[in-house]
Amino acid sequence: MATRRILVTGGAGYIGSHTVRLLLERGYDVAVVDNLSRGYRHNVPAGLLYAMDVADTGVLTELMRQLQTEAVVHFAGFIAVGESMVEPARYFTNNVSGSLSLLAAMQDADVKHIVFSSTAAVYGNPHAVPILETFPIQPVNPYGESKVMVETMLGWFDRIHHLTSVCLRYFNASGGAPDGALGEEHAPETHLIPLILRAVLTGKPVTVFGDDYATPDGTCIRDYIHVEDLAEAHILALEYLLAGGASDQFNVGTGFGHSVMEVIRAVEEVAGQKVPYTMGTRRAGDPASLVAGSDKLRAKLGWQPRSSELKTIVQHAWDFARKHA
């Protein structure tokens, strides 16, 4: 099979870097576009990085033409819900305008397929779990809204320009590469597992936001998906589109939820140390439980999570955190 040429935006970030690694392992020819605003040069293998902003439509078009890009995997964007509630304009500019610029460049360069990083945040506060793709789309913050807007644009680009897309709505990406070379290092960090690990490594307590939810131990339940299982979903989505598959949306999660206290206990087991934590009050807008219904992804793309046992996730995250502390 001829090498397929894939452009990965945001490939210097957490999920993007794991996906780039897997694409290379699978024999794809990869180029990374990342402005390094939140990602790291060291996450990208030498020679693959184009340090630029997706907003630069002209340069992006020229690049895709030169590279004869066949498909795009689009991770680039800002990801912090809380920040989006303080600075919504940043989120609409970067996530929506940035994606529109990319779509315009794809159109100009005649690139017809895109896998897009969407999010469980498009569902807002769901009326039930597990959450199915057919549930109402009703985001409760600008971050989630920015992803809905891109999903909507993708629908129109398909109808009008026949540009096909898969929107992957991730639940909680977590873990790292088993060899400890890649892992989660957001700045600022807002995700639970790295924050708990940081508490273990620094001795400074992590805050648990609320223990009075209607869950078995009172703390919030989330669906943790190993970043390597997430990367695999991108490869499957890409292959599906390259084989002529129609545009679609899929949840990416395991279908199992873990409470904050369960995660803390898993960290204590893996690290062999107590996690220092303080019990805080609820954070506005945190649903009690977010768990993915992922039957569609399993049935239609043949996806199967392999590394998403909580203990494996925590072990890989711990290996990375210790190495990079």
Ligand X SMILES: NC(=O)c1ccc[n+]([C@@H]2O[C@H](COP(=O)([O-])OP(=O)(O)OC[C@H]3O[C@@H](n4cnc5c(N)ncnc54)[C@H](O)[C@@H]3O)[C@@H](O)[C@H]2O)c1
Contact residues: ligand X, CB under 6 A:
9-10, 12-16, 33-39, 53-55, 75-77, 79, 94, 98, 117, 119, 170, 172-173, 186
Closest to 55 (Cα-Cα) out of 91, 97, 11, 85: 97
Residue tagged 């992922």 (tokens)? 294
Buried b / exposed e along 291-316 (16+ C-beta atoms within 10 A): bbbbebbeeebebebebbbbebbbbb
Nearer to ligand X, 24 or 218 (CB): 24
91 is catalytic: no
Q: Mapping DSSP to helix (H, G, I), strand (E, B) and coil, where does residue 168 land?
A: strand
- Asked if 145 and 78 touch (Cβ cutoff 8 Å), the reply is no
We find the least distance from the C-beta atom of residue 224 to ligand X, in angstroms, to be 9
The residue from 14, 143, 213, 240 that is catalytic is: 143
Kindly tell me which of 117 and 247 has the beta carbon lying closer to ligand X.
117
Instruction: Compare residues 79 and 236 and give the one whose CB is closer to ligand X.
Output: 79
Write the DSSP symbol of residue 234.
Answer: H
- Find the length of the chain: 325
Dist. CA 231–CA 15, nearest whole Å: 7
Q: Which residues contact 116 (CB under 8 A, 6 or more apart)?
A: 74, 99, 150, 151, 154, 165, 166, 167, 168
Active centre residues (catalytic): 143
